[in-house]
Amino acid sequence: MDSLYSIAKDGYSRDPVTKPLRYYETIAQAVWEENLAPKSILEIGVCKGENTKVSSRRFPDAYIVAVDLKLVDMDFSGCENVYCPQCGQTDQAKLHTTCKEHFPDGLDLVIEDPSHLGHLSRLIFDIVFSHLRGGGLYIIEDCGSGYWETWPDGRRFSNCALPESTARIAKSIRSHDSGMVGFVKSLVEHTATDDITSDRTVARGWISRLALAAARVEALRRLADCMPSLRAWLAGTRGKPVAVHAASKASAGSGLPQLKSVKFLWEICIACKT
């Protein structure tokens, strides 16, 4: 069977609004790495339907629902496995109903490519991700828009100055805390739900607190560096895992998304559900 890339290249329109060919390579690689043979696909943000037609040819056994606010210049003749209803990305109720009615057994693949605004992408994710099956992929395209100075929620990238002392490390590092970049960063955080829901994944006894305090004092750090056995003991004490299973149970009931991995390739964010 032809690859996503070869199919896309064969009918590539070079329209400025269509996705670059390298996107198809990236998605194909992600699908291959997860050994995914998608049977249920949701595309959000269709434009003229070029990507949908490629997906239809590459995955002929899949049922594809492609939604967009404006259904214009679309011709899905010959794509019998495609259904294209009208739906805006902010219509959470309709998105939920669409997923529930068309994919009662869950989704294998979601491709999100509408407005590229972090707030709206979060609205979509909060509804659609819950319908994704374990091992399924949630793909957000053009997330690099968060670094465009002219974009509504974009901001130019800038390096943060590092503090001279560990005692001055801030709780929050000023960076992209919102917008598209803030949204995709939050997905990275969801790969560590055990740590988010409970800090009992590491020991918190008085010896641990002493070790952490000692690490902040430069003289004590130098002393520990001169005594490898002491340094190893402190590190082992500080990182000793306890109650991991309890933390896992807490995260499972926390309502936080359970992500196996998050990858960034080109301007694409690829999240795999646990």
pLDDT at residue 220, rounded to an integer: 65
Residue 113 CB partners (closer than 8 Å, separation 6+): 19, 43, 44, 45, 47, 51, 140, 141, 142
Please state, in angstroms and rounded to a whole number, the distance separating the CA atoms of residues 64 and 258. Answer: 24
- Using an 8 Å Cβ cutoff, are 192 and 130 in contact? no
Establish if 74 belongs to a structural domain: yes
pLDDT at residue 244, rounded to an integer: 40
pLDDT at residue 237, rounded to an integer: 52
> What does the pLDDT average to over 64-84?
89
Answer yes or no: do 231 and 108 share one domain.
no
Answer yes or no: do 12 and 141 share one domain.
yes
Establish if 121 belongs to a structural domain: yes
Establish if 162 belongs to a structural domain: no
Residue bearing the bigger pLDDT, 49 or 203: 49
> What does the pLDDT average to over 196-215?
61
Answer yes or no: do 132 and 50 share one domain.
yes
Answer yes or no: do 185 and 245 share one domain.
no
> What does the pLDDT average to over 155-178?
73
- Using an 8 Å Cβ cutoff, are 27 and 271 in contact? no
Geometric angle at alpha carbon 32, from 115 and 121, rounded to 5°: 15
The answer, yes or no, to whether residue 190 has pLDDT greater than 60, is: yes
Answer yes or no: do 20 and 121 share one domain.
yes
pLDDT at residue 229, rounded to an integer: 74
Q: Which of 10-24, 76-90, 216-230, 243-257 has the lowest mean pLDDT?
A: 243-257
Answer yes or no: do 190 and 235 share one domain.
no
Q: Which residues of 53-67 are buried (b: 16+ CB within 10 A; e: fewer)?
A: bbbbbbbeebbbbbb
Answer yes or no: do 10 and 117 share one domain.
yes
What Cα–Cα distance (Å) separates residue 64 from each residue in 70, 79, 83, 164, 220? 18, 10, 6, 53, 61
Answer yes or no: do 110 and 124 share one domain.
yes
Answer yes or no: do 141 and 209 share one domain.
no
CATH of the domain at 107: 3.40.50.150
Answer yes or no: do 51 and 184 share one domain.
yes
Please state, in angstroms and rounded to a whole number, the distance separating the CA atoms of residues 133 and 106. Answer: 5
Domain region containing 41: 4-150+177-195+256-273
pLDDT at residue 250, rounded to an integer: 43
Establish if 156 belongs to a structural domain: no
Please state, in angstroms and rounded to a whole number, the distance separating the CA atoms of residues 269 and 263. Answer: 6
Helices and strands: H and E segment counts in the chain:
11, 7
Establish if 163 belongs to a structural domain: no
Count of the separate structural domains present in the chain = 2
- Using an 8 Å Cβ cutoff, are 269 and 121 in contact? no
The answer, yes or no, to whether residue 239 has pLDDT greater than 60, is: no
pLDDT over 90 percentage in the chain: 45
Taking residue 236's Cβ as centre, other Cβ atoms within 10 Å add up to 11
* 106, amino acid identity: G
- Using an 8 Å Cβ cutoff, are 138 and 167 in contact? no
Work out whether the CA dihedral 118, 124, 129, 135 comes out positive or negative: negative
pLDDT over 70 percentage in the chain: 77
pLDDT at residue 224, rounded to an integer: 67
In which band, very low, low, confident or very high, does the pLDDT at 188 lie, cut at 50, 70 and 90?
A: confident
131-166 pLDDT, tens digit each: 999 999 999 999 999 989 999 998 888 777 777 777
Establish if 73 belongs to a structural domain: yes
Answer yes or no: do 146 and 16 share one domain.
yes
Establish if 103 belongs to a structural domain: yes
Establish if 118 belongs to a structural domain: yes
Answer yes or no: do 13 and 42 share one domain.
yes
Please state, in angstroms and rounded to a whole number, the distance separating the CA atoms of residues 202 and 241. Answer: 5
Sheet of 40-44: strand order equals 82-83, 63-67, 40-44, 107-112, 132-141, 268-273, 259-265
pLDDT at residue 212, rounded to an integer: 61
**Per-residue tokens: 232:** 């190893």
In this structure, are strands 132-141 and 40-44 parallel, antiparallel, or unpaired?
A: unpaired
